């Protein structure tokens, strides 16, 4: 895709204007995750946008952990987030940053605000504070503690910091305007008491800055020029600007908002994803059914397919929900072009070729990819006994069924045409074997008697193959909007989202499968080695995605 030809999105327009007018000389963005969960497809959008803009305009992008909420944060999440960003193909500039790196500076600036009479320690309980705050239709009321003297505020704030008060006993608030039409401006809290261990700062602090107080200042300290976030922060922008104007910050970042990415048939909220993990609905944050980046990686989605998908959703200020099939389309498109081909029989049924000598062995050849010659040719052992899929045989069928039927012919992909003679059944009537014949001289040719085969099926040699397990995934939720209107998303978890097949037969050339990219198992879909559970002696493949969209009405 040529960057110059695509119309600019609204953020690119702003950046180009800022570069042209000289407001900035170099673009600097940041991706600011809170390390309280694994990243999901929505975060991928923010990553591609922030890092992508930095790349496009030859600027840079920081990775900053917004770690102001110690109770919910964890080092495990920090590591997973770093891995996800790099896997998506991006690199932050220099070291990673933590908002907690700025705790000292933020504390000093808070003291500065107190000294200027712009901040005060407030003893209202959370419930009282809510009452005093007013509503969208009613102005708030000034806190009775609003007019404390500078000296008293300095002393109380120092006591807060020293751990002399209980959690919730008081907070530090900035003095703006309790009647402001924007509720965010009604003397927001900038420090709360939290007696919690912090994963970066240990027990150094028992007061923590609010997100609003910390975020813009972190941007200013890092020299971020464009602080890009999602639309729910639009209302916070005046407060963002207030801090920048009222503190001696080293630079003047601006905030811009875009609409979040929402995808149907899933949930994208770390809290809800955590619930799925905690309640054992899925095997972990990286379960292949999860919309997390690690889940998608586990399943076989490629970084390119995720970047392409995100790109296809555009950057706007209008909220909406993207159809998950748009994501699946990007995955299929990438894999169709780049996945090596192979044959795997998922539900094996043995076929004995009665006219093929027992000790005869042949090797068929097949392209690694139908239209790429940079893929190695595959060698397929062939013998008297083979496996085909149960769905590919019927005793009788109408003309629409173009697979193997008694008395009819079918082509084995890359091998002979065969004709079925007999179905052998067990006592319960289940077909356990098919007897058939090869039609001589039909490898790569039509039969001499002129009776052609109607269809082509895949197969695997019964004496020379690899056993494997295959995990088939379906959407995690049966409802299109699992959490719409406050619905409990746990009620629409799809009970059939995972199906395990333990007796699959894989062609020999995959005895040591590639772990960089999924394979296309011909006629079945795209399958990726399960990098967590697969063992050389017990191969496990995850179905990334089927060949076609089977959900389309
Ligand atoms: P969640 O609601 O899942 O907890 P969050 O917004 O609290 O997400 P953060 O870790 O704060 O998660 O997000 C880091 C960055 O990713 C923020 O800039 C946020 O705006 C952005 N982001 C989060 N979710 C989405 C989304 N669905 N679409 C686009 N950007 C998102
Ligand atoms: Mg957040």
Looking at residue 68, its pLDDT comes to 93
Statement: residue 314 has pLDDT above 70:
yes
For the segment 58-64, the average pLDDT, to the nearest whole number, is 98
Is residue 190 a contact partner of residue 160, using CB atoms and an 8 Å limit?
no
Q: With left for phi above 0 and alpha for psi between -120 and 50, is residue 478 left, alpha or beta?
A: alpha
- Name, in order, each residue with C-beta under 8 angstroms of 325's C-beta and a sequence gap of 6 or more: 549, 551, 552
- Residue 355 CA, ligand 2 centroid: distance in Å: 68
CA–centroid distance for 209 within its chain: 29
- Provide the 10 A C-beta neighbour count for residue 180: 16
Distance (Å, whole) CA 139 – CA 176: 13
Rounded Cα gap, residues 378 and 366, in angstroms: 5
Catalytic residue, candidates 30, 45, 237, 270: 270
**Whether 440 and 325 share a structural domain:** no
Please indicate, yes or no, if residue 200 is contained in any of the structural domains.
yes
Which atom of ligand 1 lies nearest, measured to the CA of 45?
A: 29
34 catalytic per annotation: yes
Check pLDDT > 90 for residue 551: no
Q: Are residues 285 and 381 in the same domain?
A: no
- The C-alpha atoms of residue 46 and residue 68 are separated, in whole angstroms, by 20
Answer yes or no: is pLDDT of 2 > 70. Answer: no
Q: Is the Cβ atom of 68 under 6 angstroms away from ligand 1? A: no
**pLDDT (mean) for 381-395:** 98
Q: Whose CA is nearest to atom 22 of ligand 1?
A: 43
Examine the domain organization and report whether 324 and 370 are in the same domain. no
Across the range 321-331, mean pLDDT stands at 97
Spatial CA neighbour of 324 closest among 492, 489, 549:
549
Mean pLDDT of 481-491: 95
Q: Assess whether pLDDT exceeds 70 at residue 229.
A: yes
- Residue 478: count other Cβ atoms within 10 Å of its Cβ: 15
For 400-457, give the DSSP string: T--SEEBT-EEEETTS-EEEEEEEEE-TTS-EEEEEEEEETT-TTS--TTS---S-EE
Which of 197, 229, 258 represents a domain boundary (last residue)?
Answer: 258
Residue 264 lies in a domain: no
Whether residue 501 is contained in a domain is answered as yes
pLDDT for position 549: 67
The verdict on 20 and 59 lying in the same domain is yes
- Please give the structure tokens belonging to residue 365: 């050849």
Whether 270 sits among the annotated catalytic residues: the reply is yes
Residue 327 and residue 41 in contact, taking contact as beta carbons nearer than 8 Å: yes
Q: What is the CATH number of the domain that holds 317?
A: 2.40.240.10
34 confidence band (pLDDT: 50, 70, 90): very high
| 3 state DSSP class of 198 | strand
Among 258, 282, 306, the domain boundary falls at 258
SS3 191: strand
Distance 233 CA to ligand 2 centre (A): 10
Tokens 């494997």 locate to: 468
* Residue listed under structure tokens 């003679």: 421
Would you say residue 38 lies in a domain? yes
* Reported confidence tier of residue 553, pLDDT bands at 50, 70, 90: very low
Query: What is the rounded distance in angstroms from the CA atom of residue 157 to the CA atom of residue 148?
Result: 12
Per-residue pLDDT at 241: 98
Instruction: Judge contact between 157 and 172, C-beta under 8 A.
Output: yes
Over residues 470-483, the mean pLDDT reads 97
| Per-residue pLDDT reduced to its tens digit, 491-528 | 999 999 999 999 999 999 999 999 999 999 999 999 99
Asked whether the predicted pLDDT for residue 446 surpasses 80, the reply is yes
Burial class (CB in 10 A: 0-12, 13-18, 19+), 2: exposed
Q: Which of 406, 438, 458 lies at the terminal end of a domain, its last residue?
A: 458
Structure tokens at 94: 């220099």
Q: Which of 31, 35, 40, 42 to probe ligand 1 with, by most ligand atoms within 8 A of CB?
A: 42
Our mutation pick for probing the ligand 1 site, out of 38, 46, 99, counting the most ligand atoms within 8 A of Cβ, is 46
* pLDDT surpasses 80 at 283: yes
Evaluate: CB of 61 within 6 angstroms of ligand 1: no
What ranges in 196-314 are assigned the alpha helix state H? 211-222, 237-246, 270-278, 293-299, 303-312
What is the band of 223 on the pLDDT scale with cuts at 50, 70, 90? very high
- 258 CA distance to ligand 1 middle (Å): 11
Query: What is the three-class DSSP state of 50?
Result: helix
**How many domains are there within the chain?**
3
The per-residue DSSP string of 349-399 comes to EEEEETTS-TT--EEEEE-SSTT-TTSPPEEEEE-SEEEEEGGGEESS--T
Establish whether residue 173 lines the binding site of ligand 1, counting it when its CB lies within 6 angstroms of any ligand atom.
Answer: no
Residue with tokens 């077909």: 431
Residue 5 has pLDDT above 50, yes or no: yes
Q: Are residues 40 and 153 in the same domain?
A: yes
Is the shortest distance between the CB of 230 and ligand 1 below 6 Å? yes
Both 295 and 441 in a single domain? no
**E strand or H helix at 111, and its extent?**
helix 103-115
What tens digit of pLDDT does each residue of 123-167 get? 999 999 999 999 999 999 999 999 999 999 999 999 999 999 999
Residue 550 is assigned to a structural domain of this protein: no
pLDDT at 70: 86
Q: Please, are residues 437 and 354 in contact by the beta-carbon 8 Å criterion?
A: yes
Any atom of ligand 1 within 6 Å of the Cβ of 471: no
Report the greatest alpha carbon distance in the chain.
105
Confidence grade of residue 6 (pLDDT, cut at 50, 70, 90) = confident
Q: In the annotation, is 411 catalytic?
A: no
pLDDT value for 454: 85
In this structure, the answer to whether residues 138 and 42 fall within a common structural domain is yes
**pLDDT band at residue 73, thresholds of 50, 70 and 90?**
confident
CB 477 within 8 A of CB 493: yes
Q: 104 and 176: one domain?
A: yes
Residue with the nearest Cα to atom 2 of ligand 1? 269
Residue 59 has pLDDT above 50, yes or no: yes
Strand partners of residue 342: 521
User: Average pLDDT of 289-315?
Assistant: 98
Q: Do the domain assignments include residue 5? A: no
Identified catalytic residue from 82, 141, 194, 260: 260
Closest ligand 1 atom, residue 36 Cα: 10
Judge if 426 and 529 occupy the same domain: no
Dihedral in degrees, nearest 10, Cα atoms 319, 322, 327, 333: -100
Residue nearest to atom 14 of ligand 1 (CA): 33
Query: Quick one: pLDDT at residue 1?
Result: 44
pTM of the predicted model, to two decimals? 0.94
Residues 282 and 320 in one domain: yes
**32 CB under 6 A from ligand 1?**
yes
Q: Indicate the average pLDDT of the chain.
A: 96
Helices (H), strands (E): how many in the chain?
A: 12, 29
Which residue out of 43, 257, 311 has the highest number of ligand 1 atoms within 8 Å of its CB and is therefore the one to mutate? 43
The reply to whether 279 and 240 lie within a common domain is: no
How confident is the model at residue 4, as a pLDDT? 60
Count of other CB atoms within 10 angstroms of residue 127: 9
pLDDT class of 82 with cuts at 50, 70, 90: very high
Is 276 contained in some domain? yes
Same domain, 89 and 202: yes
The CATH number covering residue 122 comes to 3.40.50.620
Domain that holds residue 196: 10-258
Residue 463 forms part of a structural domain: no
């Amino acid at each position: 895709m040529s960057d110059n030809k695509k119309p600019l999105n609204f953020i690119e327009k702003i950046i180009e204007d800022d570069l042209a007018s000289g407001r900035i000389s170099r673009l600097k963005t940041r991706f600011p995750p809170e390390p309280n969960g694994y990243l999901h497809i929505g975060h991928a959008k923010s990553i591609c946008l922030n890092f992508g803009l930095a790349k496009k305009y030859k600027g840079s992008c920081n990775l900053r952990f917004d770690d102001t909420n110690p109770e919910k944060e964890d080092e495990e999440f920090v590591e997973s987030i770093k891995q996800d960003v790099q896997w998506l193909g991006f690199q932050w500039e220099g070291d990673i940053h933590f908002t907690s790196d700025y705790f000292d500076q933020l504390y000093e600036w808070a003291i500065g605000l107190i000294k200027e009479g712009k901040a005060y320690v407030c003893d209202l309980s959370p419930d009282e504070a809510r009452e005093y705050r007013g509503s969208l239709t009613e102005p708030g009321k000034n806190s009775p503690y609003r007019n404390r003297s500078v000296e008293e505020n300095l002393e109380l704030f120092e006591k807060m910091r020293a751990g002399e008060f209980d959690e919730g006993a008081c907070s530090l608030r900035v003095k703006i305007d309790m009647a402001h039409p924007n509720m965010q401006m009604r003397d927001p809290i900038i420090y709360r008491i939290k007696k919690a261990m912090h994963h970066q700062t240990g027990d150094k602090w028992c007061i923590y800055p609010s997100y609003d107080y910390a975020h813009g200042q972190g941007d200013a300290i890092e020299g971020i020029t464009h602080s890009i976030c999602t639309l729910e922060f639009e209302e916070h922008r005046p407060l963002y600007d207030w801090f920048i104007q009222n503190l001696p910050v080293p630079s003047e970042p601006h905030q811009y908002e875009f609409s979040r990415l929402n995808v149907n048939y899933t949930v994208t909220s770390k809290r809800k994803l955590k619930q799925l993990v905690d309640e054992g609905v899925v095997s972990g944050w990286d379960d292949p059914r999860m919309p997390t980046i690690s889940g998608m990686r586990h399943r076989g989605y490629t970084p390119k397919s995720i970047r392409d998908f995100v790109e296809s959703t555009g950057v706007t200020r209008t909220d909406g929900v993207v159809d998950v099939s748009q994501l699946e389309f990007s995955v299929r498109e990438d894999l169709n072009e780049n996945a090596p081909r192979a044959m795997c029989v998922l539900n094996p049924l043995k076929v004995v070729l009665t006219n093929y000598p027992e000790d005869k062995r042949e090797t068929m050849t097949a392209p690694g990819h139908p239209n790429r010659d940079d893929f190695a040719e595959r060698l397929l052992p062939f013998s008297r006994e083979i496996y085909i899929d149960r769905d590919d045989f019927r005793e009788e069928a109408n003309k629409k069924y173009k697979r193997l039927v008694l008395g009819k012919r079918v082509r084995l992909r890359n091998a002979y045409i065969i004709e079925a003679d007999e179905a052998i059944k067990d006592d319960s009537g289940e077909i356990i074997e098919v007897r058939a014949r090869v039609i001589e001289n039909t490898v790569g040719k039509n039969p001499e008697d002129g009776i052609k085969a109607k269809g082509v099926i895949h197969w695997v040699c019964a004496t020379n193959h690899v056993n494997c397990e295959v995990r088939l995934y379906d959407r995690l939720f049966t409802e299109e909007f699992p959490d719409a209107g406050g619905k409990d998303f746990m009620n629409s978890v799809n009970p059939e989202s995972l199906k395990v097949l333990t007796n699959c037969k894989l062609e020999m050339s995959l005895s040591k499968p590639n772990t960089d990219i999924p394979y296309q198992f011909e006629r079945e879909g795209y399958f990726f080695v399960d990098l967590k559970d697969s063992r050389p002696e017990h191969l496990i493949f995850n179905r990334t995605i089927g060949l076609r969209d089977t959900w389309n009405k």
